[in-house]
């Protein structure tokens, strides 16, 4: 993909700024100004996904993420965004299936097993959730896990247990 130049960089920066201000519609209008090759860049796709997610338009967010996986299969963000959108669409089992190949593809990315733990928990499989959380701890440590998990509603049923991990 070509490197964005002016004015494309301006539209990308403006879209990011609009998202920071909580105005996803304005961000999408900026992204619409981009030529197709730049619009499919990883940066533009991530901004588009954020805009749709901010709007809670999970169907469109999933479509953007599907394209991200197709265009950028070696970047974990598309895989994570796709499964998250599916989860938000109440298709958690499908979200799990869509994310499982990312375990082998991104073996050091802690958010992959973390999200799988969240999905397992929501599907009522606490044992699988514990196994995925143990993988997060192996990759990043218990403090990292606690930072993510203690306020995560998807892991509420394991919160008290997670608080005791690591002996404190």
Per-residue pLDDT band at 2 (split at 50, 70, 90):
low
Q: Output the average pLDDT for the chain.
A: 96
Which is higher by pLDDT, 28 or 1?
Answer: 28
pTM of the model: 0.93
**For the chain, how big is the Rg over CA atoms in Å?**
17
Round to whole Å and give the CA distance between 108 and 141. Answer: 12
Residues with Cβ within 8 Å of residue 68, at least 6 apart in sequence: 42, 45, 46, 49, 75, 77, 78, 81, 82
Q: What is the model's pLDDT at position 5?
A: 80
At residue 132, does pLDDT exceed 60? Answer: yes
Distance CA 154, CA 22 (A): 24
Q: Which two tokens stand for residue 168?
A: 């404190």
Task: Please state, as a whole number, how many other Cβ atoms lie within 10 Å of the Cβ of residue 20.
Answer: 10
Domains and CATH numbers, the chain: 1-89 (1.25.40), 107-168 (no CATH)
Q: Which helix (H) or strand (E) holds 72?
A: none
pLDDT bin (cut points 50, 70, 90) of residue 6 is confident
> So what's the pLDDT on residue 123?
98
Interacting residues of 168 by C-beta distance below 8 A, sequence separation 6+ = none
Residue 3, phi then psi, degrees to nearest 5: -75, 130
């Amino acid at each position: 993909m070509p490197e964005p130049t002016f004015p494309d960089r301006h539209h990308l920066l403006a879209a990011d700024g609009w998202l920071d201000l909580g105005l996803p519609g304005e961000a999408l209008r900026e992204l619409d100004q981009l030529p197709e090759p730049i619009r499919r860049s990883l940066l533009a796709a991530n901004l588009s996904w954020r805009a749709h997610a901010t709007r809670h338009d999970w169907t469109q967010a999933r479509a953007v993420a599907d394209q991200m996986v197709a265009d950028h299969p070696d970047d974990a963000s598309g895989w994570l965004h796709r499964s998250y959108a599916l989860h938000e669409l109440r298709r958690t089992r499908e979200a799990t299936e869509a994310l499982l190949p990312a375990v082998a593809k991104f073996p050091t990315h802690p958010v992959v097993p973390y999200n799988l733990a969240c999905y397992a928990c929501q599907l009522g499989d606490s044992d699988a959730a514990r196994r995925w959380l143990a993988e997060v701890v192996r990759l990043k440590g218990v403090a990292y896990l606690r930072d993510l998990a203690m306020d995560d509603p998807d892991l509420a049923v394991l919160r008290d247990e997670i608080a005791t991990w690591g002996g404190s």
